Structure 1
């Protein structure tokens, strides 16, 4: 995955402590205005389990200390620490392997033609992920060609009602 130098610096610093803190760094984004950006850190449990709001709050302290320690952006910034949510970003090869079979939206770094693709992760390994696109065709993307990839959440508003036909 392609990350900015600042984002990668933050990821590296956080990952150095995350395991001992019982957390996994899902993703880091630096977004917003240049003068006062937002640093978004998405975390989950070390074994990929979801965290409660109280657990995320508890992790915020050490995440803040690490980010402050490297002072990644000049001036003021806002730090947001949260769980990855339903539209979970995929950043590492193991994320693509873990969510094989799931639908996603992928943006490439391509400078020619189409940049956005939607489909199901059909296969993933240490070097690339293959998507079965919405039209039934497949495309393989090397991780260094992927700018961003997020799971496509599935909302079931109807739900199942037991005993009802």
Structure 2
């Protein structure tokens, strides 16, 4: 999940995550409109939804930890963005797919190249291993390697 360059930041936030009983869904540092942004996506484990009060408490603790860190894990000016990954959360890491499978959440995958005539597939993960997943789509199993998948998200059904 964490690139080596972000390890110093993880080392600061992980104790806060552990203390508050949260789940670090994703951490990224990117440029948005010329501004460096540190994005932390947090949630509760066991498929519970985090509240705004919990995000606020976490944000305050992270701000304090970053302000008092001996070495700045993110040199220069940056904006800190802490949020929930949302219902339609991106699935980027192998454990994200396992999380979706465990919850029984349908997912939508977009492929780099069409397979069986289409590039987007939505279904529930029926099988999962280190290199591929199988989606049950309209009662039929379709297997995709992770190398084929350009993007994957939890599919929100209303």
Fold-level similarity (TM above 0.5): yes
Measured after TM superposition, the shift of residue 66 of structure 1 is: 4.1
1:49 aligns with 2:48: yes
User: Aligned to 1:97, what secondary structure does the other structure show?
Assistant: helix
| Contact kept? 1:104, 1:152, Cα under 8 Å | yes
By how many angstroms is 1:77 displaced? 0.8
| Structure 1: 4+ residue segments shifted above 4 A | 115-118, 133-136, 145-148
Structure 1 position 138 matched with structure 2 position 143: yes
Q: Return the offset for 1:152.
A: 2.7
Query: Residue 107 of structure 2 contacts residue 152 of structure 2 at CA under 8 Å; is this kept in 1?
Result: no
How far, CA to CA, are the matches of 1:7 and 1:118 in structure 2? 32
Deviation of residue 118 (structure 1)?
A: 4.2
| Partner in structure 2 of residue 153 of structure 1 | 156
- State yes or no: 1:71 paired with 2:72: yes
The range that moved more, 87-96 or 19-28, is 87-96
CA distance in 1, matches of 2:76, 2:27: 19
- Three-state SS of the structure 2 residue aligned to 1:79 is strand
For 1:86, the equivalent position in structure 2 comes to: 87
In the alignment, which residue of structure 2 is the partner of 1:162? none
Aligned ranges 1:111-122 → 2 under 5 Å:
114=113, 118-120=121-123, 121-122=125-126
Q: Is the 8 A contact 1:24 1:48 kept in 2?
A: no
- Aligned mates of 1:146, 1:16 — CA distance in 2: 33
Would you tell me which structure has more strand in proportion to its own residues?
A: 2
Moved more, 83-92 or 128-137: 128-137
**8 Å Cα contact 1:105/1:152 also seen in 2:** no
CA contact (8 A) 2:135 2:143 kept: yes
Q: Contact (CA 8 Å) 2:132, 2:143: kept in 1 or not?
A: no
Match of 2:127 in 1: 123
Check whether the contact 2:13–2:62 (CA below 8 A) recurs between aligned residues. yes
**How does the TM-score come out when normalised to structure 1?**
0.65
TM normalised by structure 2 equals 0.67
2:89 aligned counterpart, secondary structure: coil
For residues 129 and 83 of structure 1, the distance between their equivalents in structure 2, rounded to whole angstroms, comes to 27
Gaps of 5+ in 2: none
